[in-house]
Amino acid sequence: MKIIKTITELRDHLSHFKRPAFVPTMGNLHEGHLTLVRQAKPLGDVLVASIFVNRLQFLPHEDFDTYPRTWEADCAALEAAGCDVLFAPTEKELYPEPQGFKVHPPVELSDLLEGHFRPGFFVGVCTVVLKLFNCVQPRVAVFGQKDYQQLMVIRRMAQQFALPIDVIGGATLRAADGLALSSRNNYLSPGDRAEAVHLSQALKAMAQALREGAVDISALERQAMTHLTARGWQPDYLVVRRRADLQPPATGDIPELTHNQGLVVLGAARLGATRLIDNLEV
């Protein structure tokens, strides 16, 4: 695996390939990331991964400075997973001057759910992803479906900017008890780790209720929020949305959307000091 830290060297190296495949990460890699690498590997003639903790997508009170950085372990894991090139720019390399030009996704997609609770998050995500796309110039890029809204935002960005990139989703990888793998799981105490599975269980219960014919979405969401709150969580949202646009479904549309696999349940909640997100397509 070749490690490259400058844009100039990256472009020179990739000029010899026709179809780069790309998996961007912020490091602190787990098996979910490596599954994305293995998924992307056969889709191109060279597999590029990146590690860059992007300051632009962190709010002032969030964990940019303490975000886990595990460089040596990440390099070993990527190489073992078949990565050909690791692009690991410094902040000065990727942002040599203050980033005045930024990508602002449409508010109807970016200001709800994660965007509501983390204002500016998707501006930071879109800006760095577009910049990384310009550095790597991939023909295919793979993102995890655990970040469901992020995947949708990036797909729309690629479409609207006519980028020649296929944006592909990789299925969420879970621990044996159902907890979605996440770098932030490392923050959980042993007790919180045992409790953390209840987020995915709450989403499963919502999905099952929909399959069994539930149409009172507000009651379903309230019940899930109350359940987690009673267990000591601080939930931001547990909601049922249309897969197509992440908007709330009309009551009369719910049976057809459920039948046609048109719904997704999404949740975000804080357990102790750790904020976890998850989703399940219905």
Shared domain for 232 and 139, answered yes or no, is: no
Shared domain for 141 and 205, answered yes or no, is: no
Shared domain for 149 and 108, answered yes or no, is: yes
The whole-model pTM stands at 0.95
Does residue 177 lie within any of the structural domains?
A: no
The pLDDT score that the predictor gives to residue 61 is 86
Does residue 176 lie within any of the structural domains?
A: no
The pLDDT score that the predictor gives to residue 66 is 86
Per residue in 137-186, pLDDT tens?
A: 999 999 999 999 999 999 999 999 999 999 999 999 999 999 999 999 99
Does residue 221 lie within any of the structural domains?
A: yes
Shared domain for 134 and 205, answered yes or no, is: no
Shared domain for 141 and 240, answered yes or no, is: no
Does residue 95 lie within any of the structural domains?
A: yes
Shared domain for 17 and 154, answered yes or no, is: yes
Burial track 23-49 (b if 16+ CB lie within 10 A, e otherwise): bbbbbbbbebbbbbbbbbbebbebbbb
The pLDDT score that the predictor gives to residue 126 is 98
How crowded is the C-beta side of 172, counted as CA atoms within 13 Å? 20
Does residue 68 lie within any of the structural domains?
A: yes
Contacts with 277 (C-beta within 8 Å, 6 or more apart), sequence order: 114, 146, 147, 180, 182, 266, 267, 268
> Distance between CA 265 and CA 238 in Å, rounded?
7
Does residue 152 lie within any of the structural domains?
A: yes
Shared domain for 83 and 166, answered yes or no, is: yes
Shared domain for 86 and 55, answered yes or no, is: yes
Total domains present in the chain: 2
Shared domain for 62 and 192, answered yes or no, is: no
Shared domain for 158 and 107, answered yes or no, is: yes
Does residue 175 lie within any of the structural domains?
A: no
Per residue in 71-97, pLDDT tens?
A: 999 999 999 999 999 999 999 999 999
Owning domain of residue 128: 2-170
Shared domain for 134 and 235, answered yes or no, is: no
104 an active-site residue?
no
Shared domain for 11 and 138, answered yes or no, is: yes
Does residue 178 lie within any of the structural domains?
A: no
The arrangement of strands across the sheet holding 274-281 comes to: 234-242, 263-271, 274-281
Contacts with 71 (C-beta within 8 Å, 6 or more apart), sequence order: 27, 51
> Do residues 56 and 128 make contact, with C-beta atoms less than 8 angstroms apart?
yes
Residue 226 belongs to domain with CATH number: 3.30.1300.10
Residue 162 belongs to domain with CATH number: 3.40.50.620
Report residues of the chain scoring pLDDT below 70.
none
Query: Catalytic one among 16, 33, 104, 116?
Result: 33
> Distance between CA 268 and CA 224 in Å, rounded?
12
Could you please report the per-residue DSSP string of the chain? -EEE-SHHHHHHHHTT-S-EEEEEE-S---HHHHHHHHHHGGGSSEEEEEE---GGGS-TTSSTTTS---HHHHHHHHHHHT-SEEE---HHHH-SS---------HHHHSSTHHHHSTTHHHHHHHHHHHHHHHH--SEEEEETTSHHHHHHHHHHHHHTT-S-EEEEEPPPB-TTSPBP-GGGGG--HHHHHHHHHHHHHHHHHHHHHHTT---HHHHHHHHHHHHHHTT-EEEEEEEEETTTSPPPPGGGHHHHHHTT-EEEEEEEEETTEEEEEEEE-
Domain boundary among 114, 140, 170: 170
The pLDDT score that the predictor gives to residue 50 is 98
> Distance between CA 185 and CA 195 in Å, rounded?
12
